[in-house]
Amino acid sequence: MTARAMGVTGTAGRAANGTFATEPAPLAPATVQALEAAGLDVPDVVRVVRAALDEDFRYGADVTSAATVAGRTVTADVVAREAGVVAGLPVAMAVFDLLGDYLGDEAAGSVTAAVSATDGARVSAGDAVLRVSGDAVAVLGAERTMLNFVTHLSGIASATREWADAVAGTGAVVRDTRKTLPGLRALQKYAVRCGGGQNHRMGLGDAALVKDNHVAAAGGVAAAVRAVRSAARPGLVIEVECDSVAQVREALEAGARFILLDNMPVPTLREAVALARAYDGVRLEASGRLRVANAREVASTGVDYLSVGSLTHSSRALDLGLDYSGAN
């Protein structure tokens, strides 16, 4: 896969001299295809990658690389240092595609990159997931930005897979939350999907979630449900957060059919599930006090989902590094 080819364009990035480039660099068609196949919005990925490259090139070119490896070419592999689940390889390709805005087309245009793994695949220590070749200054200029994306997203995917494996066979599904890093929500939630989880809300408007503050402001669970239903567009999913069986009953009697069971111990979860199953079409999500160690016990209560905010706000990066296999 060639990292520089005509394709989708975005806004201009910052060049090596600290000024913004006047011509936006395109993404290679293969990169666009990979991002779209992953369900990622191409302009959004371009925006995020440009922001990351802007940080590294804000003060100009890489002085160290220019002084030590200028004129040389290298071949290197992104290699897993530990077992996990890989995610973010199409984003890594976008990093290489956009280098021309920062290093010039001659250097960046020499870079080729090809993936040797698939997002969502399990990897072992020593497995190579991507190979890159070309101008040494360009490869080194992209290295940290590319690894930042891939290690972070692979960490989320790996953590999600651990949770998904813990509840396998119970019928319950692990879901994320909106506890994401600003600007990275779409990518972090993509990584959750790579790990076998599902996404909850992408934003405030694609579903309604009645939480404790809404209940307090409305004067009760039933009043909050009625208010949201009257204001929401037809067909919008309305989920209600409940922290007691009494609130679950009130929400169900008000017509709610998606209930978030918040911070309930396992015996209370079982009671709430038994109550809710008397109503048709109810979906239940457990949230709070969840750990991988008790995930299966919680899932076995009969809930449909486990809500795990730590997937996106606390997962550690998966250790991957760039190993050089040749230089000249």
Residues with a known catalytic role: 144, 179, 211, 241, 262
The residues facing 238 across adjacent strands are 208
Quote the radius of gyration of the chain (alpha carbons, Å).
Answer: 23
Q: Cα angle vertex 150, ends 149, 155, to 5°?
A: 105
Q: Do 304 and 173 contact (CB within 8 A), yes or no?
A: yes
Q: Do 103 and 134 contact (CB within 8 A), yes or no?
A: no
Contacts with 126 (C-beta within 8 Å, 6 or more apart), sequence order: 79, 80
d(CA 203, CA 130): 32
d(CA 213, CA 194): 33
Helix axes of 29-37 and 89-97: crossing angle, nearest 10 degrees: 150
- Candidates 208, 207, 227; CA nearest to 217 is 227
Q: How far is CA 21 from the centre of its chain?
A: 29
